[in-house]
Copies of this chain bind each other. A is one copy, B any other.
Amino acid sequence: MAKNTLKKLGLKLTPQRLAILNLLEGNTKHPSAEDIYNKLKPQYPSLSLATVYNTLEVLVKAGEVHEIRIKAGKRCFDPNPIPHGHFLCRICESVFDLDIKPLEIQTPCSIKGYLLENYMIYFYGICPECQEGDNIKDR
């Protein structure tokens, strides 16, 4: 629940933050900052893109939301706390969750000496829907 998340982090409870958190909660679409801004702007006309960025920054720093760098020039955000991989379809440009378990990648031999704090696995290709009917032309 968005309210509890903000309280837990010692942040002020503002309508903008609640709206952003509510939009993210359970969201598997991996929106960008601008996606979030555009979705919320109609309901919160005073909302600023800066606020979206600010809010995302604190949420990411607190580990409540993960930053996904699967696309070239644009970050997107994922509220799912369970470790998992991501798949970018090169046709529809959507990002999908893949439930890669951490154990499948645990402690690779060559990581000795490095203090591992986090990791990300990104997959690239074509999603099931875009494989139908040779949508590849849509590239």
- Using CB atoms and an 8 Å cutoff, list the residues of chain A in contact with chain B: 67, 69-73, 75, 85, 87, 90, 96, 98-100, 104-105, 108, 110-111, 113-128, 131
Contact = CB atoms under 8 A, between A and B. Distances in A.
Contact of A115 (B70, B73, B96, B125): B125
A67 B88 CA distance: 15
Contacts of A75: 72
Contact of A85 (B70, B104, B108, B117): B108
A75 B113 CA distance: 25
A118 B114 contact: no
A119 B118 contact: no
A111 to B, nearest CB: 6
A99 B123 CA distance: 18
Task: Select the residue from A72, A105, A110, A115 with max chain B CB neighbours within 10 A.
Answer: A115
Given A75-B72, A104-B104, A114-B87, A121 B119 contact: yes
Given A70-B69, A105-B105, A121-B105, A98 B111 contact: yes
Given A90-B117, A104-B105, 11 more contacts: A87-B116, A98-B111, A105-B105, A113-B128, A114-B126, A114-B128, A115-B126, A116-B123, A117-B125, A117-B126, A119-B124
A123 B118 contact: yes
A132 to B, nearest CB: 11
